[in-house]
Amino acid sequence: MIENILNKKICLALNDIYNINVNPDIILVQQTRVEFEGDYTVVVFPLLRYSKKNPEDTANDIGEYLTKNLKEVKSFNVIKGFLNLVIDDNFWIDFFNLNFNNDNFGIKPQEKSSKPVVVEYSSPNTNKPLHLGHIRNNLLGYSVAEILKANGKNVVKVNLVNNRGIHICKSILAWKKWGNNETPESTGMKGDHLVGKYYVLFETKYKEEVKKMVSEGIFNEEEAKKNAPLLLEAQEMLRKWEAKDKEVIDLWTMMNDWVYKGFDVTYNRLGIDFDKIYYESDTYLLGKELVNTGLKNNFLFQKPDGSVWADLKDKGLDEKLLLRKDGTSVYITQDLGTAKLRYTEYNPEKLIYVVGNEQNYHFDVLKLILEKLGENWFQIIHHLSYGMVELPHGKMKSREGTVVDADDLMDEMFSTARKTTEELGKIKDFSEEKANELYNIVSLGALKYFILKVDPKKNMMFNPEESIDFNGNTGPFIQYTYARIQSILKKAGNSNNIPDYDGIKINKKEKELLKLLYQFPEVITQAGKDYSPATIANYVFTLVKNYNKYYQEVPILKVDDNNTKNFRVLLSEFIANVIKTSMKLLGIEVPVRM
């Protein structure tokens, strides 16, 4: 990178001019702000204590040294304590020449024999359909996996489906009681929605029961909640499930299959996938052994009732239950087991969990317990903690029906895409099939970009009353720019010769574009370090915004000079390529026409 070259040369300059050695870290080289002349800026304030001169003189000293000793630096200017360096156009043209043709520009080659990075995401419960919160999780997980791949990592995408437990029994019980043998086929409902319907029904009936019990005056609310017959029945069903009771297992298998099929449809439509799917029914017993060994080694302790605990008070946390007095395991016990399983299964470089920030405490505890158990690899665990999707009235709550359903949302986006496209009337020659494909690409582009452009760590707002925009800083805007370029390329034909670079003069806007393109590999690196699709999204938006200005103001095909025309066409193609790559990292497709 040119920044590094400048940094090193400035070190040499300081040595030559002032006869001092400085830590390269204190030399700050950054992009020059657009309102000033220059490409890179050196902030000289930190260097004054070494130069023992005022900012202007110090900057001039270094500027002169660099123009003399570095062919890339053409000239410089000094404003206040800022040394603005102008890079020779040939540097940008060389960069263009070397990379415009590279379809994989910015993508690092896969590291050979590198340990895999395991990314867990999605991890749904099979008692209700996916909602907007899951969409954020899924999109983040998928995109982060793509970004890590682009950084040369060997990525394994896994999903741990939570298919057992009391909440699943609730759906099953409600269906058994009031379902009249409804099936996805008989009702035409998607399986996950059908099962979700019975989960909601259970909650409704359960609440009625509790209310009734309280009004009868025998129980207070808390007791009623624990003793409602429906709940007891569900708990009994869970015990039967654990005892492998055939009737329960059969029901469970059937209803889970409905849900899996429903999820597959949603996943497919969202364009996400997994290399491996774990089921909690297979993993929920893991971890017991780990805990028992820990107990034997006195890393853990047992209470008089026989329950097993980890004491985390020395870490500033509390005690944490790991095995109930009856020896059954809890959620975290299972997670300890699956973490260990993955560690031995993959020998990974990192274990990444895409899980909401509501579970921050859980992951802190998880790591501390693993450490306590002597599992020193615990440090490879990274909780990719993302913020909640909030609605104007607050958080989404399944039980209160304030969720934005994933399938519904995609349907709505699809209709909006169709409506907008029809109004614009640009694809009247498309077959219905091709048109639908486009609506799909555009609607998903809008949805995905809307979610991924926000910093994963932050909570985000979604207002169901306002449809997701198609103008401005949006997926369709970026897709549109790509399509525009494709149109230009089509009109330009295949006859573009490689331009004669000696004859090329790049204008200011072209230089800005080349500088942005130059940054792309670094952007991918940064996005990988931060696990942040938003970094990519913001970058590609800036690139596209700049290109649209260029497109508006600079003729590309309508220039007489063939050399200039070829250069502009190829520059456009280069940009389209980077748009496509960026969007791919976000899991978004780009259309040739729209």
Partner RNA sequence: GGUCCAAUAGCUCAGUUGGAUAGAGCAACAGCCUUCUAAGCUGUGGGUCGCAGGUUCGAAUCCUGCUUGGAUCACCA
Does residue 582 touch RNA according to CB under 7 A? no
Look at residue 500 and give its three-state secondary structure. coil
Say how far residue 394 (Cα) sits from the centre of its chain.
23
Query: Is residue 225 involved in binding RNA (CB under 7 A)?
Result: no
Residue of 20, 285, 341, 460 interacting with RNA (CB under 7 A)? 460
Residue selected from 484, 516, 582, 583 as contacting RNA according to rule CB under 7 A? 484
* Separation between Cα atoms, residue 221 and residue 206, nearest integer Å: 12
Find all residues with CB under 8 Å of 561, minimum gap 6, and list them.
none
> Which residue in 109, 217, 401, 472 binds RNA (CB under 7 A)?
472
Q: What residues does 170 pair with on adjacent strands?
A: none
**Pair 24, 8: CB distance under 8 Å:** yes
Token pair 């986006």 in the structure block, residue = 413
What are the E-state strand segments in 92-136?
116-120
**Interaction of residue 361 with RNA, rule CB under 7 A:** yes
Stretch that binds RNA, among 11-19, 31-39, 367-375, 573-581 (CB under 7 A): 31-39
Decide: is 488 part of the binding site for RNA (CB under 7 A). yes
User: Between 204 and 463, whose beta carbon lies closer to RNA?
Assistant: 463
When asked if residue 50 is in the footprint of RNA (CB under 7 A), the reply is no
Smallest separation, CB 577 to RNA (Å):
16
- What's the CA angle centered on 55, arms 54 and 60, to 5 degrees? 105
What is the rounded CA–CA span in Å between residue 484 and residue 492? Answer: 12
Contact residue for RNA among 97, 548, 562, 563 (CB under 7 A): 548
What is the C-alpha separation between 441 and 232, in angstroms, rounded? 47
> Is residue 469 near RNA by the rule CB under 7 A?
yes
Q: Are 230 and 205 in contact (CB under 8 A)?
A: yes
Asked if residues 464 and 391 have their Cβ atoms less than 8 Å apart, the reply is yes
Per CB under 7 A, does 321 bind RNA? yes
CB 237 to RNA: min, Å: 14
Contact region with RNA (CB under 7 A), list: 101-109, 146-154, 269-277, 464-472: 464-472
Q: Tokens standing for 538?
A: 């913001």
* Contact flags string 263-292 toward RNA, x per CB under 7 A: -----------------x------------
The full length of the chain comes to: 594
Question: Does residue 217 bind RNA (CB under 7 A)?
Answer: no
Comparison of 115 and 260: residue with beta carbon closer to RNA: 260
Question: At closest approach, how far in Å is the CB of 447 from RNA?
Answer: 13
Report which of 63, 50, 57 is spatially closest to residue 6, judged by C-alpha positions: 63
**Per-residue mark of binding to RNA, 81-100 (x: CB under 7 A):** xx-x----------------
Find the shortest distance in angstroms from Cβ 180 to RNA. 28
Question: Where does this chain touch RNA (CB under 7 A) — which range of 24-32, 210-218, 254-262, 339-347?
Answer: 24-32
Residues in Cβ contact with 574 at an 8 Å cutoff, skipping those fewer than 6 apart: 96, 99, 100, 105, 517
Map residues 507-536 to x or -, x wherever contact with RNA holds by CB under 7 A. -------------------x-------xx-
Element (H, E) at 382: strand 381-386
Which of residues 358 and 411 has its CB atom nearest to RNA in the complex? 358
Q: For residue 90, which phi and psi values (nearest 5 degrees)?
A: -60, -30
Binding mask 423-452 for RNA (x = CB under 7 A): -x-x-----------x---x----------
Distance (Å, rounded) from C-alpha 190 to C-alpha 562? 57
Q: Which of residues 290-309 bind RNA (CB under 7 A)?
A: 303, 305, 307
Per CB under 7 A, the segment of 15-23, 104-112, 318-326, 573-581 that binds RNA is 318-326
88: phi > 0 → left, psi -120 to 50 → alpha, else beta; which?
beta
**Which residues are CB-neighbours of 79 under 8 A, at least 6 positions away?**
36
- Whole-angstrom Cα distance, residue 469 to residue 476? 9
Q: Are 138 and 122 in contact (CB under 8 A)?
A: yes
Q: Does 396 bind RNA (CB under 7 A)?
A: no
Q: Tell which one of 511, 545, 562, 584 touches RNA (CB under 7 A).
A: 545
Asked if residues 209 and 177 have their Cβ atoms less than 8 Å apart, the reply is: no
Residue choice 378, 551, 567, 574 for contact with RNA (CB under 7 A): 551
Shorter beta-carbon distance to RNA: residue 111 or 458: 458
Is residue 471 near RNA by the rule CB under 7 A?
yes
d(CA 577, CA 540): 11
Angle at 232 between CA 227 and CA 236, to 5 degrees: 155
- Across the strands, what pairs with 500? none
Size of the site for RNA (CB under 7 A): 93
Q: Does 560 bind RNA (CB under 7 A)?
A: no
Tell which one of 142, 175, 477, 567 touches RNA (CB under 7 A): 477
Q: By CB under 7 A, what part of segment 363-392 binds RNA?
A: 388
Question: In whole angstroms, how close is the CB of 535 to RNA at the nearest point?
Answer: 7
Q: Are 482 and 549 in contact (CB under 8 A)?
A: no
Residues of this chain, 149-188, that bind RNA according to CB under 7 A: 162, 165-167
In a 10 Å sphere around its CB, with 0-12 CB exposed, 13-18 middle and 19+ buried, how is residue 540 labelled? buried
Q: What is the pattern of x (binds RNA, CB under 7 A) and - over residues 116-155?
A: ---------x------------------------------
Q: Is 1 in the site for RNA (CB under 7 A)?
A: no
CB contact set of 203 (below 8 Å; sequence gap of 6+): 170, 399
CB of 426 to RNA, least distance (A): 5
Question: What minimum distance in Å lies between the beta carbon of 115 and RNA?
Answer: 26
For residue 553, state whether it binds RNA (rule: CB under 7 A): yes
